[in-house]
Amino acid sequence: MNTLSLQPSKEGVKAENEIAAILSIVPGLGHIYKGHYTAGFGWMLLGMPLAVWVGILLGLATAGVGLLLPLVCWIGLAFDAYNEKNRRAHHLLPPRLGPSSNDDEMED
């Protein structure tokens, strides 16, 4: 079976990047969506909990200013997910170029 792999349009790529950034509301999910599983699960299970813990400690030491660290980390994570290369395979249906051999059999 011969299949074609077509590249998505610029609008499709932009939409996928926006979806990845929106999915980063849950830290790491945007990376997982784009196929960066190690980075996504790493941020989800280790990175953001560590950033929140350090932010709380810095928040106690700096009269609350350190609480901005998790927020900055979260925004950076969404930006990174938006700009990451998409590793997922795009298998779109090939365009139909003409009648197939099955159409001829069905007419008889």
pLDDT tens-digit series, residues 2-25: 555 566 788 888 989 999 999 999
Quote the domain boundaries for residue 67.
10-86
Q: Taking CA 34 as the corner, what is the angle to CA 23 and CA 80, rounded to the nearest 5 degrees? A: 70
Contact 75, 24 (CB under 8 A): no
Is 107 domain-assigned?
Answer: no
Q: Which two tokens stand for residue 52?
A: 């929140």
Q: How many domains does the chain have?
A: 1
Distance CA 103, CA 53 (A): 64
In a domain, 19, yes or no: yes
Note the pLDDT tens digit of each residue in 24-68.
999 999 999 999 999 999 999 999 999 999 999 999 999 999 999
6 Cβ contact partners less than 8 Å away, ≥ 6 residues apart: 90, 92, 94
Rounded CA-CA distance 57/80 in Å is 25
